[in-house]
Amino acid sequence: MACTTLISADDLKDRMGRPGWRIFDCRCSANDPSVGEKLYREGHLPGARHADLDRVLAAPSGPHTGRHPLPAPDKLAAWLGAEGVGEKTQIVAYDDAGGAFAARLWWLARWLGHEAVAVLDGGIRAWEKAGGTLESGEAPGREPVNFRIREPLAGIADVHEVARVVSHLHSGRLVDARDRRRYLGELEPIDPVAGHIPGAHSRPFGDNLDEQGRFLPVEQLRTRFSTLARDPRSVIHYCGSGVTACHNVLAMEHAGLTGSRLYPGSWSEWIRDPGRPVERGIT
């Protein structure tokens, strides 16, 4: 049976080396794009390949986009195929940030219709704590295959739909995954404007995790998100640039609250237009 949300370190150890499994290291740093590859080469899970946020998991930003636009589907599909990911391949993504970046690859694979993708719960630290070994250097590539894009398993809301939600012309619920201080407008270390999209609810992605950096039990995650809306499909997630918001999508899916969507442009796209409203403080 495919793993479609999370996989534990113990379960991955039991399956390590099986044919049809591909592991990707998604570690990165918002302050230094070179850190992820450096950490990868110093030590990664056996056989893992590096998935760079800026070069693979996002397209270059433009004057009207957010900081991490979605990659072109055909280019992402070509990369997955070149990495040996086929229709029945099980993808496992991990990082060292509680899944904050690994969830982006999880979401993107589902966006292309690939269901067998999971995030390593607890990341590389959980792997080492479970007695897993690391390898240095770059893992050998895999035999290229044809990755075929299928019906999306992950939904998108664009900036126009978000604007309709803000204008109360649509019944969607907006959820902000950033640190609460950024949501409140008290702190903004990255983007030029502080605050949040009007009407959004604050659900920092870090609150999905326990003290060990693992996802909370399903019951707690369900409680955390179930009050947002009767229908999870009306929930729209955003963050600073459409990366960590994927963590909240993953948490809801893992809790059985299926169908919530991502606003990929997120806050960094929303504020590109000075005419779009901004809110500060508590909604």
pLDDT of residue 230: 86
18 closest CA partner among 74, 82, 92: 92
pLDDT of residue 215: 98
**Residue 242: is it exposed, middle or buried by C-beta count within 10 angstroms (0-12/13-18/19+)?**
buried
What gap in Å lies between CA 52 and CA 26, rounded to an integer?
6
pLDDT of residue 171: 73
CB–CB of 270/276 below 8 Å? Answer: yes
Q: Give the pLDDT confidence of 167-198 residue by residue, as tens digits.
A: 986 778 999 999 999 999 999 999 999 999 99
Residue 179 is encoded by which pair of tokens? 């640190």
pLDDT of residue 41: 97
Phi-psi map region of 25: left, alpha, beta (phi>0 left; psi -120 to 50 alpha): beta
Range 155-163 average pLDDT: 97
Q: Give the pLDDT confidence of 60-79 residue by residue, as tens digits.
A: 999 999 999 999 999 999 99
281 against 238, higher pLDDT: 238
pLDDT of residue 18: 85
CB–CB of 148/85 below 8 Å? Answer: no
Catalytic residue among 3, 28, 239, 246: 239
Q: How many CB atoms lie within 10 A of CB 193?
A: 15
Residue 193 is encoded by which pair of tokens? 């404007």
Q: Give the pLDDT confidence of 116-155 residue by residue, as tens digits.
A: 999 999 999 999 999 999 999 999 988 999 999 999 999 9
Its pTM surpasses 0.95: yes
Residue 247 is encoded by which pair of tokens? 């963590």
Share of the chain residues as helix, strand and coil, in percent rounded to the nearest 5: 30, 15, 55
Q: Do 6-129 and 155-270 have matching folds?
A: yes
Q: Is 246 a catalytic residue?
A: no
Asked: is 6-129 a CATH 3.40.250.10 domain? The reply is yes
Is the per-residue pLDDT at 283 higher than 70?
A: no
pLDDT band at 229 (very low <50, low <70, confident <90, very high): confident
Question: Which CATH number, 3.40.50.2300, 3.40.250.10, 3.40.50.300, 3.30.2080.10, labels domain 155-270?
Answer: 3.40.250.10
pLDDT of residue 188: 95
Range 231-258 average pLDDT: 97
Q: Give the pLDDT confidence of 10-50 residue by residue, as tens digits.
A: 999 999 888 899 999 999 987 888 899 999 999 999 999 99
- List the chain domain ranges: 6-129, 155-270
Q: Give the pLDDT confidence of 89-115 residue by residue, as tens digits.
A: 999 999 999 999 999 999 999 999 999
pLDDT of residue 32: 85
Q: How many CB atoms lie within 10 A of CB 250?
A: 27
